Structure 1
Amino acid sequence: MNWRHRVKTIGLLIMLTGLLGCKEQRVAIGAPAPALAAFDLNGQPAGLEKWHGKAVYLTFWSADCGGCAADMRTLQQLSDTYGDRLVVVAVNTDPQQTDLTRFISGLHIRYPVVRDQMGITKERYAVIGTPTSYLLNPQGQVLEIHQGLRGETALAAMFKHAQQDKS
């Protein structure tokens, strides 16, 4: 094997190791929440550390998901009530070219919205469909995982319970 082939092989191994390391985190109840590999709507990196010390309701959504839109309306109302203690963060899974402006403004969303442009966050959180949501405690541990539409009554009860449970 010549030295150029060795250098290419070593470079490829280093790159693959780096890529695998990026996606290595997985979601599990009771474990620390995996890091976000997402960007806010201004293109800036978004991370959970921004909300450390507060409970976080992380919801994965897509613009063509009717259940997502229904829950997002309710989440805005709950965010208005509990936003100082429990932060709603909406992670969009649509392709980069999807314009989210009308969707977000039409629902009057004011809580943080981030984009999972490379699908890494979706993979880390094992999201197979939208909506999928995760409740994180103020220390960043996963307390609850839910797939599918929640509905206004269930969301309100969960937010109220999360405020009583200071874990």
Structure 2
Amino acid sequence: MRPDIATWALPALLGAVLLLGGCKEETAQVGAPAPALAAYDLQGNQATLEQWKGKYVYLNFWASNCGGCLAEMPVLERLSKDFSDSMVVVGVNTDKTDYNVEAQLRDLNVTYPNVRDQLAITQERYQVIGTPTAFLIAPDGKLVAQYTGMMKEAQLTAIFERTRGERS
């Protein structure tokens, strides 16, 4: 005997609404604490901003079909190495499919940390509507700045240079 869909669908829907309603709603605001990540690293482990506490974090949202995103990656790779004492670059891939992020990063020689946001929860928290979009997070966890659109090498270098020696 098949269970009637009405007997389980409504309780399941109500349960999901209550569960989601209990989630803390976070949105990005410059000057406020940075919203938590709801993303996983490429090995499947949950990523948190706490991993990089004590350094500036350049949180860079990107997609595999975004030409500007891919053009920034070699510069971000170089800067991530040159400023490793004060800053960490963290890529947030926004592709919703089972795209092979690892292969693309390998092809581009990108070694800085990358996480996946396939459910778009982190994008929603940071109010990302297009890529590339990046956020600068201070060592104390506060959101310092937001950058929308492709950044040229000189712009990125200036952002990174301003953080050197400025520990919160």
- TM-score calculated relative to the size of structure 1: 0.89
- Alignment deviations for residues 38-88 of structure 1 (CA, whole Å, 9 cap, x no partner): 000111111111111111000000011110011111000001111121000
- Alignment deviations for residues 9-49 of structure 1 (CA, whole Å, 9 cap, x no partner): 78755532431343610000000000000000111111111
| Residue in structure 2 matched with residue 33 of structure 1 by the alignment | 34
| Residue in structure 1 matched with residue 120 of structure 2 by the alignment | 119
| Residue in structure 1 matched with residue 57 of structure 2 by the alignment | 56
Provide runs of 4+ in structure 1 moved above 4 Å. Answer: 8-14
| Residue in structure 2 matched with residue 5 of structure 1 by the alignment | none
| Unaligned runs of at least 5 residues, structure 2 | 1-8
Q: Answer yes or no: is the 8 Å Cα contact 1:62–1:92 preserved in 2.
A: yes
What SS does the corresponding residue of 2:131 show, helix, strand or coil? coil
Amino acid at match of 2:19: G
* Offset at residue 106 of structure 1 (A): 1.5
Identity across aligned pairs (percent)?
Answer: 46
**1:142 has 2:143 as partner:** yes
Structure 1 segment 1-167 matched on structure 2, within 5 A? 13=14, 15-22=16-23, 24-167=25-168
- Alignment deviations for residues 65-116 of structure 1 (CA, whole Å, 9 cap, x no partner): 1100111110000011111210000000002411112310111111100000
CA distance in 2, matches of 1:61, 1:12: 32
CA distance in 1, matches of 2:149, 2:22: 29
- TM-score calculated relative to the size of structure 2: 0.88
CA distance in 1, matches of 2:37, 2:128: 13
Q: How many residue pairs align between the two structures?
A: 162
